[in-house]
A and B are shown apart, each in its own frame.
Chain A
Amino acid sequence: MHKMLKKYFPVFALPALSAFLVSFVIPFITGVYLSFTEFRVVNNSEWVGLKNYIKIFTTDKTFIDSLWLTVKFTFVSVITINIIAFTLAMLLTKGLRGTNFFRTVLFMPNLIGGIVLGHIWSLIINGILGFFGVDITYNPDYGFWGLVILMNWQLIGYMMIIYIAGIQNIPAYLNEAAAIDGASPMQTLFHVTIPMVMPSVTICSFLTLTNAFKLFDQNLALNGKAPETSLLALDIYKTFYDHTGLKLAQWHGIGQAKAVLFFLIVALIAFIQLRATRQKEVEQ
């Protein structure tokens, strides 16, 4: 069978593989190469070594600013989203009627695309700020907290669903044993529920972390007009496409080098996540 299947490579593997080569493998390798060059277009590049990487930290300071902003944004989002999502999941697993309705409503924002979502919040936040005669570009803090609110609105329902699954997987006898031993609700929460849902906490933390770190569409729609509130992905985009003129080749090189650094940071987070989940599995 498997020898027979091997001959069917063109039918089974080739369609997906050729598309994968064209839209991922080749662009990725070219992308890494181009980060060491200056280029106006892909097939016209000039080798400059590490110059682009040095420029990111010397000439063009926007990368450091947006990296710091992204870290702050990610930190705040991970904490607020997970606390609120866990609390809601606790309320929804008390066996009350109508749980399904609340679950449906709370999950809904997750399905709306980033661009539409960003514009909905842009209209609402600017509508509120309009009473004070300003808009979201007035103060970078407005943009920052606008993004945090938007991110909470989008991801809380999603994380809540994962927490609900985690809480429902706790064997009933553990809660019964705690009740028989006279544990207070708070003690049960901290000594039974939270330790038992730690795998869900790991999953949700990393999901919010990577989602927040790679945020682009929402950022473009909500803060596209305020350069101080560009997160990393948007900063890279702007480095590529917001420049014209003679130095275009130089900006393309810097943009591609930023993209490589961005990739390395995201890869590092993914690697830590893999280690964290593997370790948890061993412990259990």
Chain B
Amino acid sequence: MMKTGFKFRNIIIYSALIIASAVFLAPIVIILINSVKGNFYISDAPFSLPDKDTFVGLQNFIKGFTQSDFMRSFAVSAFITVFSVTGIVISTSMTAWYIVRVRNRFTKIIYYLFVFSMIVPFQMVMYTVTYYAFELHLNNPIGIVFIYLGFGSGLSVFMFSGFIKSIPTEIEEAAVVDGCSPIKTFFLVIFPILKPTAITVAILNAMWIWNDYLLPYLVLGSGSDKTLPVAVQMALTGGYGNKDMGALMAMLVLAILPIIIFYLFCQKYIIKGVVAGAVKG
């Protein structure tokens, strides 16, 4: 008697979870279905499955690739994300170590400035940072890496500092006694200890920079150096006359696909990182 009650409860829970998952997956599935349908059928019957009349195979994907300069935007986004994240992880972990170990009024002020920057919304500096980016000739994919280093440093320094405070100084002092310079001590002794935090910092920054729209739009514009989110926004809002819905659907699929593949492979780290970031931030 008890046992059947138990099973009944499980059926209800599973049904609820299956319905929730279906609702959560539906938007992605709808986009996927429409990306292999002919142009006309997308706007006419957006929720029907493709059949032999409406199925166009990979035609939309070929158009999405060629028309919107997709590959170039993808490469620009990848370049900016990889170099910004690498730069942020290395330089902010060094800064955090310096701030925590050299304790004086100056480093204290710097620390609080970094923490303060975390609560300032982008719109506050949107106009001025764009101006300085142009003045200092940072309005190119290499220059924007430097700007991302500045914007990413608040949260990253904060997270590294929190962890470094828990590392006993004896370890570093032993390295110094053995004749290590601060640079050697940092890279050979401290940085390996920081690895879990470094992974968290890398994931949080990578997700933000890869998906960021406004900063690259204002600084790099919508020309040949546009990032992927800018390319998507341009393709779906700009242009005259009839939009090629098929190519647009394919483009959305292509924009989501790399993230989902990345997620399925590094799921454990991503979920851990996002939770750690949430609790600390």
A residues near B, CB below 8 A? Answer: 1-2, 4-6, 8-9, 11-13, 15-17, 19-28, 30-31, 34, 41-43, 88, 91-92, 94, 96, 98, 102-116, 119-124, 127, 130, 153, 156-158, 161-162, 165, 203, 207, 214, 216-217, 220-221, 224-225, 233, 236-237, 240, 252, 255-256, 259-260, 262-263, 266-267, 270
Contact = CB atoms under 8 A, between A and B. Distances in A.
Contacts of A26: 128, 132
Given A17-B95, A96-B10, A120-B27, 10 more contacts: A4-B176, A15-B95, A20-B150, A27-B129, A91-B17, A119-B236, A124-B27, A161-B275, A162-B279, A221-B233
Interface string B255-280: 11001100110010011001100110
Given A108-B24, A162-B278, A262-B123, A113 B213 contact: yes
28 contacts: A11-B182, A12-B182, A17-B95, A17-B110, A20-B149, A22-B138, A22-B150, A23-B150, A24-B117, A26-B132, A28-B120, A41-B131, A102-B21, A105-B21, A105-B24, A108-B25, A108-B263, A120-B252, A214-B121, A220-B213, A240-B126, A255-B127, A259-B124, A260-B124, A262-B124, A263-B121, A263-B124, A270-B119
Given A5-B102, A23-B146, A124 B30 contact: yes
Given A42-B128, A116-B252, A158-B274, A1 B173 contact: yes
A236 B125 CA distance: 11
A12 B117 contact: no
Task: Give the one of A104, A112, A124, A263 with max B CB within 10 A.
Answer: A112
B151 interface: yes
Contacts of A220: 213, 233
Given A111-B270, A114-B213, A263-B124, A5 B182 contact: yes
A111 B102 CA distance: 37
Interface string B103-145: 1000000100110010111111111110111001010000000
A136 to B, nearest CB: 13
A2 B259 contact: no
A3 B143 CA distance: 34
B259 A221 contact: no
Interface in B185-216: 186, 207, 210-214
B57 to A, nearest CB: 21
Contacts of A127: 30, 46-47
A25 B113 CA distance: 8
Interface extent on B, as a size class? 35 or more
Contact of A31 (B125, B214, B264): B125
A263 B260 CA distance: 33
Nearest to B128: A27
Interface string B155-180: 00100000000000100110010000
B75 interface: no
Contacts of A105: 21, 24-25
B71 interface: no
A1 B172 contact: yes
Contact of A23 (B91, B129, B255): B129
B223 to A, nearest CB: 17
B124 A28 contact: yes
Would you list the 4 A-B pairs with minimal beta carbon distance, nearest first?
A: A113-B211, A23-B150, A127-B46, A19-B150
A263 B118 CA distance: 11
Contacts of A256: 127
A110 B263 CA distance: 11
Contact of B275 (A5, A28, A31, A162): A162
A144 B259 CA distance: 28
Contacts of B271: 103, 107, 161
Contact of B126 (A4, A19, A237, A267): A237
B85 interface: no
Nearest to B259: A111
B247 interface: no
Interface in B1-54: 10, 13-14, 16-17, 20-21, 24-25, 27-28, 30-31, 34, 43, 46-47
A91 to B, nearest CB: 5
Given A4-B182, A15-B149, A16-B153, A120 B128 contact: no
Given A4-B176, A162-B279, A13 B24 contact: no
Contact of A263 (B120, B148, B172, B236): B120
Nearest to A34: B128
Contacts of B149: 15-16, 19-20, 23
A5 B95 CA distance: 11
A188 to B, nearest CB: 14
